[in-house]
Structure 1
Amino acid sequence: MSIRDLIPWSRQENKVPAQVSAAGAASDPVLSLHREVNRLFEDFFRGFGVPALAGVERGLLAPSVELAETDKEIRVMAELPGLDEKDVEVTVEEGVLTLRGEKKSEVEDKDRGYSERSYGRFERRIGLPNGIEQDKASATFKKGVLTVTVPKSASAAESVRRIAVNSGQA
């Protein structure tokens, strides 16, 4: 079985059914309702400055991050394409790393025909473990990737307790 077999109209010589065609869509009440519900959701989210549902996966609403931890530090890397270091704010407060920023459009809305790019403010909060030295945290920004490094204190390594793993047989 191929993926094409799962598409309803692919079994009939790749013909699109009449109700999905442009002429049939207007007369089919289910498709009209489906289109209207999609439009309502898009209008609702657009009112909050959120891009259309197709672009909500991650984007700037919550930048994609990668976390790395060693015995000496915690490193957080965030992808922020299209931004400069002046557009990003990084804070560490009470064990929480916060990444904030805003991506502004280079084009006026009236001049834009179609866009899948997302613009607006974003904020991402990442909880950090106990035993970090937030006063010594540092950040670098290069090629759209923000890297924040937070050193661990000496007491953090000492507070780790290894637990033996048994096979569970009595």
Structure 2
Amino acid sequence: GFLHDKARRNRVEKGWRERLNLYEGLRSVEAVTRTFDIIERVSRVSQYAWIPLGMNSYYMGLADGDFIEVVAETDNYFEVRAVEDRELKFIGSGPSWKEAIAVADGWLRRHGVNDCFSRRDQGWREKEAKEAQVYLAHKLTGLPKGFLSSLKRGQVSDLITSARALLLPVESIKLVQS
């Protein structure tokens, strides 16, 4: 009902305000290295290219600014939400991050998301980062270009995606009533 949707919207807005703090974390080599460790762990349970946003959220950008995310609301409640056409929709939930990722992966499959950017197993991800990628990642994070140049193309892409996701304004999203 109305109160449930209002509480959900308040949680979403609070989480998005915390994203600016997470964005600051992308400015340290140590934090970025931890992020890649989390990505490795998630890639063991999903073929999709999930990006961790902090310790409690997983994100995947889709076409035209749309995205899907898995957010830990409590230790045993993980909510799956998607933004399509600037509208936030509740997709499902799970009692663990693995189960919630499985719910999200199912949604991605049902919606035909299977392109070369959404999957972790693509060959381009292992290639050397492009100069334009390194430049953009440096501009977004301020990380040293030497460090960024040492990363693989997929890692730099993930870093750019993280920075852009963390900078999204919550005001641009409308909550769809259940």
In the superposition, the TM-score normalised over structure 2's length comes to 0.22
Higher Cα radius of gyration: 1
Task: Tell me: higher relative CO, structure 1 or 2? Use CA pairs within 8 A at least 6 residues apart.
Answer: 2
In the superposition, the TM-score normalised over structure 1's length comes to 0.23
The structure where helix makes up a greater share of residues is 2
